[in-house]
Amino acid sequence: KILIVDFGSQVTQLIARRVREDGVYCEIVPFQKAEAAFREMRPKAVILSGGPESVHEAGSPRAPQLIFDSGVPVMGICYGQMTMAAQLGGTVEGGHHREFGRADVEVKTNSRLFEGVWQTGEQHQVWMSHGDRITQMPPGFSVAGVSPNAPFAVIQDEARKYYGLMFHPEVVHTPDGAKLIRNFVRNIAGLGGDWTMHAFRAEEIKKIRAQVGKGKVICGLSGGVDSAVAAVLIHEAIGDQLTCVFVDHGLLRLNEAETVVDLFRHHYNIPLVHVDASKLFLGELAGVTDPEAKRKTIGRLFIDVFEAEAKKIGGADFLAQGTLYPDVIESVSFTGGPSVTIKSHHNVGGLPDRMNMKLVEPLRELFKDEVRVLGRELGLPDVFVGRHPFPGPGLAIRCPGEITVDKLDILRKADAIYIDEIRKAGLYDTIWQAFAVLLPVKTVGVMGDGRTYDYVVGLRAVTSTDGMTADFYPFDMKFLGNTATRIINEVKGVNRVVYDVTSKPPGTIEWE
């Protein structure tokens, strides 16, 4: 096991992710609780995270002395390096504004940390964090890497297995960072690498049971992967203390509602309330064309319907959500500055405050691809687990302009054909998200001998790792041509198909 002491960096979770990728169990503990956690957990190694503070400020956090006394290997990253240096007898100069940026590190000497990755004399790109500065190393330490602005970019005491990095090895902007962490975890700390999602499942089940006790939990299913995985995991932990509520807003894809209901009721035997609220939603959305107005209307109705259903089943003590780690970080901006609302996301927040319920969020530490692995581990079918993300407001935001039942029907059919073609071409898993959009535009065409005046379908497909940035997918023209022909031939009401070649930024993935 590895203990990660969190000093408040925005990217601490990424350290955990890297360690897990190496097949080693780890826990993140805020620095205030680190001493107790260390005693209880008896970890084989400790990683000290970065953080926003300066070691120089009075009352700034420290790592428990116990950790250094215990003799376990320690890796300090950014703030973690500074506090380690200060606590072990070095000198740290403060007062610099903390900033991040690309830098090149020059490797000065051999290190077990660099083994098989970096050679002496080489230069390598890293994501550097400038804030405090070490002016004198603690006794026993030597310099292993320097950068133009950081003479102590990497320091080490190989005898005691202490390593201090001024850069962030956990972020992708440090291309070899994962390998350095792996060296620390596997070679220096000597940990086995046999931890799996199977173990995560067991740990989370224990945590859920401890949190919930005999309480009742309600979970809103959206039809997406995240809420489904969360629900199945929670059900495994507490059985029928969980009730799932599936608010069907009538904006789902072809056969989607049936798939979800079947999966939960028949495959898993999980208590499920299926509310067909499509009339209510589509009624209130009639005439609404502004994207934010659509999102707000759907968000508000969702809360109303969900709350009413919760009352009907006699209330609950906890609300389960499939919140993922990116949802957690996206809500805090990296610089701490004010961030602009691009789109009002529905299904994050709102509900718990209003209903005064505590949250159960077993996926909070996971990334999308890890959730998929967990889903498979829990026996969810591959086709379900591998599904592309689908936004809470559903097809409403893929139907610019006014939403009508007829338009939704056209969109569903076109979308199903498009996805079918993508699956047949073996491209579904390469693409992050693909969908059709129905444009509020009619154009003239000719079919057979007659004139047509029908809708335009836009096709979107993007690659991405987290949905924050994305590139359009470069289909070959033959694929696009075939798909367009099929859609126009098979879907009445469509006579033209276009492909969206915008990346994000400047575009967003969804059209509204």
- Nearer to ligand XMP (CB atom), residue 317 or residue 471: 471
For the record, the structure tokens of 58 come out as: 């009075």
Residue 224 Cβ vs ligand XMP, minimum distance, rounded to whole Å: 7
Q: HSE-up of 269 (CA within 13 Å, CB side)? A: 3
For the record, the structure tokens of 417 come out as: 């054909």
- Nearer to ligand XMP (CB atom), residue 205 or residue 431: 431
Residue 344 Cβ vs ligand XMP, minimum distance, rounded to whole Å: 7
**C-alpha distances in Å from residue 95, one per residue of 138, 196, 472:** 20, 42, 44
Residue 158 Cβ vs ligand XMP, minimum distance, rounded to whole Å: 45
As a whole number of angstroms, the distance between CA 271 and CA 238 comes to 12
- DSSP summary character for residue 97: P
Does position 503 bind ligand XMP by CB under 6 A?
no
Nearest partner of 410 among 388, 381, 437, 449, judged by Cα: 437
In this structure, which amino acid lies at residue 339? S
Taking residue 311's Cβ as centre, other Cβ atoms within 10 Å add up to 11
Residue 509 Cβ vs ligand XMP, minimum distance, rounded to whole Å: 3
- Nearer to ligand XMP (CB atom), residue 433 or residue 495: 433
As a whole number of angstroms, the distance between CA 512 and CA 427 comes to 25
CA angle 194, 195, 200 (to 5 degrees): 160
> Is 26 noted as a catalytic residue in this protein?
no
Residue 240 Cβ vs ligand XMP, minimum distance, rounded to whole Å: 27
From 154-162, 207-215, 331-339, 385-393, give the range in contact with ligand XMP by CB under 6 A.
385-393
Can you state the angle between helices 291-312 and 278-285, rounded to 10 degrees? 150
Does position 393 bind ligand XMP by CB under 6 A?
yes
Which positions from 426 through 455 interact with ligand XMP, judged by CB under 6 A?
Answer: 433
Beta bridge partners of 258: none
Size of residue set near ligand XMP by CB under 6 A: 14
Q: HSE-up of 218 (CA within 13 Å, CB side)? A: 23
Residue 330: alpha-carbon gap to chain centroid: 9
**C-alpha distances in Å from residue 270, one per residue of 22, 54, 275:** 34, 50, 15
From 66-74, 127-135, 311-319, 340-348, give the range in contact with ligand XMP by CB under 6 A.
340-348
One of 30, 271, 467, 493 touching ligand XMP (CB under 6 A): 467
Does position 386 bind ligand XMP by CB under 6 A?
no
> What is the pairing mode between strands 471-472 and 2-6?
unpaired
As a whole number of angstroms, the distance between CA 405 and CA 146 comes to 63
- Nearer to ligand XMP (CB atom), residue 362 or residue 391: 391
Do residues 417 and 488 touch, judged by C-beta distance below 8 A? no
One of 108, 112, 274, 343 touching ligand XMP (CB under 6 A): 343
Q: Indicate if the alpha-carbon torsion angle 110, 113, 115, 121 is positive or negative.
A: negative
Do residues 139 and 155 touch, judged by C-beta distance below 8 A? no
Identified catalytic residue from 26, 78, 219, 244: 78
Identified catalytic residue from 124, 130, 170, 346: 170
- Nearer to ligand XMP (CB atom), residue 216 or residue 387: 387
135-146 as b/e: b if 16+ CB within 10 A: eebbeebeebbb
**C-alpha distances in Å from residue 278, one per residue of 26, 249, 344, 428, 467:** 44, 5, 21, 29, 28
Does position 291 bind ligand XMP by CB under 6 A?
no
> Is 266 noted as a catalytic residue in this protein?
no
Does position 508 bind ligand XMP by CB under 6 A?
yes
One of 346, 398, 413, 460 touching ligand XMP (CB under 6 A): 346
Taking residue 504's Cβ as centre, other Cβ atoms within 10 Å add up to 16
Which positions from 347 through 376 interact with ligand XMP, judged by CB under 6 A?
Answer: 347
From 52-60, 65-73, 350-358, 389-397, give the range in contact with ligand XMP by CB under 6 A.
389-397
Residue 487 Cβ vs ligand XMP, minimum distance, rounded to whole Å: 21
> Is 244 noted as a catalytic residue in this protein?
no
Which positions from 293 through 322 interact with ligand XMP, judged by CB under 6 A?
Answer: none
As a whole number of angstroms, the distance between CA 334 and CA 10 comes to 7
From 64-72, 139-147, 387-395, 483-491, give the range in contact with ligand XMP by CB under 6 A.
387-395
- Nearer to ligand XMP (CB atom), residue 343 or residue 364: 343
Residue 347 Cβ vs ligand XMP, minimum distance, rounded to whole Å: 5
- Nearer to ligand XMP (CB atom), residue 82 or residue 509: 509
- Nearer to ligand XMP (CB atom), residue 173 or residue 345: 345
Does position 392 bind ligand XMP by CB under 6 A?
yes
As a whole number of angstroms, the distance between CA 147 and CA 32 comes to 32
Residue 295 Cβ vs ligand XMP, minimum distance, rounded to whole Å: 6
Does position 223 bind ligand XMP by CB under 6 A?
no
Identified catalytic residue from 168, 235, 249, 346: 168
- Nearer to ligand XMP (CB atom), residue 85 or residue 395: 395
Nearest partner of 292 among 362, 250, 344, judged by Cα: 344
Residue 342: alpha-carbon gap to chain centroid: 18
One of 8, 389, 401, 493 touching ligand XMP (CB under 6 A): 389
- Nearer to ligand XMP (CB atom), residue 108 or residue 343: 343
For residue 291, cis peptide bond before it (omega within 30 degrees of 0): no
Residues marked active site are found at 78, 168, 170
Q: Where do contacts with ligand XMP occur on this chain (CB under 6 A)?
A: 343, 345-347, 389, 391-393, 433, 467, 504, 508-510
